[in-house]
């Protein structure tokens, strides 16, 4: 038997990293969770409610946090160096601590597509254009000066930074359709007199109960779904937004004046995760997300010994999928660590 190194470094303190930390701790591993931000939770901490049942994001976050109250978590910490040495990774952290880890789990998550890059939609230029994340913050805090008191027309624009070769992101971000439908229902509940429009290419309501949400949006909330991509947004003299699109079902160009437009910004691989992975020359696919050993049977394994992946660093996915992937990675890491014990 060599040495019983059961140190596991998890990079990323979002839902994936937290769930993996909890399960690895239960398997008797020494877990070190490294989070670059000042708190745990990742994007989940910015969200108000989760589709399809509209459960509170904070309720899930509390569960995940409570599970790892006794795990070593380093906040505001980044990986400075990472080198493979004798079947373990010598990892230097920005807080001065060095860890010799048997395995490393990348749970580095995703970045929300910077909506200002879709310049024709005017995020950061026009006051009344916000993103899905901004809207969740508003739902959570009730504060956002950009959102008018009594909006008459509100538009949701799907696929901002997704399925769009022009800005270099060809992939579907998977969760934005359901998020848009959820948010459309929620904003209709908040502003019952408003007309809510949803501009979509095609609605990918793939999960259980998602179709029910879509049904509710149409039949209970009266959300008007328009199949067509918005070509541009501009602002009129009153500060209202002029949205131009093509209604592909009617075969006509349309122009609607809006009081608020919400851009459903998609997912891209985390820049911080990419930077960290760059130290090991971890391969990425054309879509920018990390490459697994294979995409069917060894999704959580990388091409490198002791390096594992889970969650949205492998591509867009829902929170339940992320949590399941974290658990799957834990099994693989456990097998990997035990393989040394049996030598």
The residues of the shown chain that bind another protein, judged by CB under 8 A, are: 116, 119-120, 122, 124-127, 232, 234-237, 239, 242
Q: 224-227 and 260-265 as β-strands: parallel, antiparallel, unpaired?
A: unpaired
Q: What is the dihedral of CA 93, 95, 98, 104, to 10 degrees?
A: -40
End-to-end CA distance of the chain: 5
Q: How far is the CB of 277 from another protein (least distance, A)?
A: 26
Q: At what angle do helices 176-190 and 132-141 cross, to 10 degrees?
A: 40
CB of 229 to another protein, least distance (A): 16
CB of 315 to another protein, least distance (A): 28
CB of 330 to another protein, least distance (A): 42
State the minimum distance, in angstroms, from the CB of residue 116 to another protein.
7
Closest to another protein by CB, 125 vs 283, is: 125
Q: Which of 274, 301, 315 is nearest to 103 (CA)?
A: 301
The CA-based angle 149-155-160, given to 5 degrees, is 125
Q: How far is the CB of 163 from another protein (least distance, A)?
A: 20
Cβ-contact 241, 228 below 8 angstroms: no
CB of 187 vs another protein, minimal distance in Å: 23
Residue 90 CB burial class (10 angstroms; 0-12, 13-18, ≥19): middle
**Residue 81 vs 255, nearer CB to another protein:** 255
Are 326 and 20 in contact by the 8 Å Cβ rule? The answer is yes
> For 18, phi and psi rounded to 5 degrees?
-65, -45
What's the rounded Cα separation, in Å, for the pair 19 and 12? 11
Residue 33 structure tokens? 């969770």
Q: Among residues 208 and 237, whose Cβ is nearest to another protein?
A: 237
Burial of 110 (0-12, 13-18, 19+ CB in 10 A): buried
Q: Which CB sits closer to another protein, 23 or 118?
A: 118
Pick between residue 108 and residue 153 the one whose CB is nearest to another protein. 153
Closer residue to another protein, CB minimum distance, 232 or 338: 232
Residue 290 CA to residue 280 CA, distance in Å, equals 12
Judged by beta carbon, residue 62 or residue 120, the one nearer another protein is: 120
């Amino acid at each position: 038997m060599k040495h019983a190194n059961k140190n596991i470094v998890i990079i990323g303190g979002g839902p994936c990293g937290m769930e993996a930390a909890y399960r690895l701790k239960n398997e008797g591993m020494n877990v070190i969770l490294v989070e670059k931000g000042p708190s745990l939770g990742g994007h989940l901490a910015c969200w108000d409610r989760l589709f399809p049942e509209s459960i509170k994001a904070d309720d899930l976050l509390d569960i995940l946090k409570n599970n790892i109250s006794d795990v070593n978590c380093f906040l505001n910490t980044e990986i400075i160096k990472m080198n493979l040495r004798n079947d373990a990774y010598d990892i230097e952290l920005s807080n001065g601590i060095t860890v010799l880890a048997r395995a490393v789990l990348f749970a580095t998550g995703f970045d929300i597509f910077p909506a200002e890059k879709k310049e024709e939609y005017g995020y950061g230029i026009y006051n009344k254009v916000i993103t899905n994340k901004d809207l969740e913050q508003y739902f959570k805090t009730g504060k956002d000066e950009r959102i008018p008191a009594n909006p008459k027309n509100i538009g949701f624009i799907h696929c901002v930074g997704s399925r769009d070769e022009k800005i270099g992101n060809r992939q579907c971000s998977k969760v934005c359709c359901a998020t848009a439908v959820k948010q459309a229902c929620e904003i209709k509940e908040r502003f019952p007199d408003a007309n809510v429009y949803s501009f979509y290419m095609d609605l990918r309501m793939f999960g259980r109960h998602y179709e029910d949400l879509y049904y509710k949006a149409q039949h209970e909330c009266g959300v008007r779904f328009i199949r067509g991509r918005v070509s541009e947004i501009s602002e009129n003299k009153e500060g209202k937004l002029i949205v131009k699109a093509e209604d592909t079902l009617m075969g006509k160009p349309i122009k609607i004046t809006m009081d608020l437009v919400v851009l459903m910004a998609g997912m891209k691989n985390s820049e911080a995760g990419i930077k960290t992975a760059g130290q090991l020359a971890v391969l990425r696919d054309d879509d920018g997300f990390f490459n697994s050993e294979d995409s069917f049977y060894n999704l959580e394994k990388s091409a490198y010994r002791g390096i594992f992946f889970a969650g949205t660093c492998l591509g867009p996915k829902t929170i339940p999928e992320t949590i399941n992937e974290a658990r799957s990675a834990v099994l693989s890491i456990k097998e990997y660590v035990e393989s040394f014990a049996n030598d």
